[in-house]
Amino acid sequence: MKKKYYLIISLIVSGILLLNISNISYMTTKNGTGTPIIKHIPVKTTNIGYDLLISCDVIYSGNFIAQLMIRKPGVWQYNITNMTHGFGNTYYTIIPAKNVTVAGLEYYIKVYVNENITVTYPYSNASDNPLKILVRNYYMEYSLTPIYFGIIVILIFTILYVVDIIEIKNPWGGKKN
């Protein structure tokens, strides 16, 4: 019976470490009366040589245009790209790999309803304070970091313990359960 609990606990801990849930911040714009709501998880890093997907959810019952405003750091003018409607409330844009450079990227999302109603993400002063993406010129997909090594060791010992291949002894003595 205890083996089942050890397995469940180790899988939960491994999953949390692997997914790094604590670093995900789901952001929402402030919503005024009758204005769209933009939900977006900011993109913080990407690797050079890959296309970059930027997406958001827009909650609004009327007609609107979702746009991605993107530029390289140090450049004053933004390139405007209309976002494609995906499934449900999701809108997305794919930035081609040729436009992802080591200099990085800055962006914000704008939802335009009419000349009186425009919402941005970030909601305050988005054009002067855009979100920043760090572009790495190296690849880390297959590097074995200490945290991944620890997860692998924990999973191996848990599996071996559950199937009774190894026996873990109590280092403090006492009865074995």
DSSP state of 103: T
Single-letter residue type at 85: H
Percent residues over pLDDT 70 in the chain: 69
Domains of the chain: 1-23+144-177 (no CATH), 31-136 (2.60.40.10)
The owner of tokens 């930027």 is: 54
Low-confidence winner among 11-20, 34-43, 108-117, 126-135 (lowest mean pLDDT): 11-20
The owner of tokens 């002063």 is: 125
Residue 25 has what pLDDT? 45
Q: What is the pLDDT of residues 104-155, one digit of tens each?
A: 999 999 999 988 889 999 988 888 999 999 998 765 555 667 777 888 888 8
Q: What is the pLDDT of residues 65-86, one digit of tens each?
A: 999 999 999 899 999 999 999 9
Reply yes or no: is the peptide bond before residue 122 cis, omega within 30 of 0.
yes
**Long-range Cβ contact pairs of 60-63 (< 8 A, separation 24 or more):** 60/35, 60/36, 60/111, 60/113, 62/113, 63/113
pLDDT at 47 over 80: yes
Is 155 buried (19+), middle (13-18) or exposed (0-12) by CB count in 10 A? middle
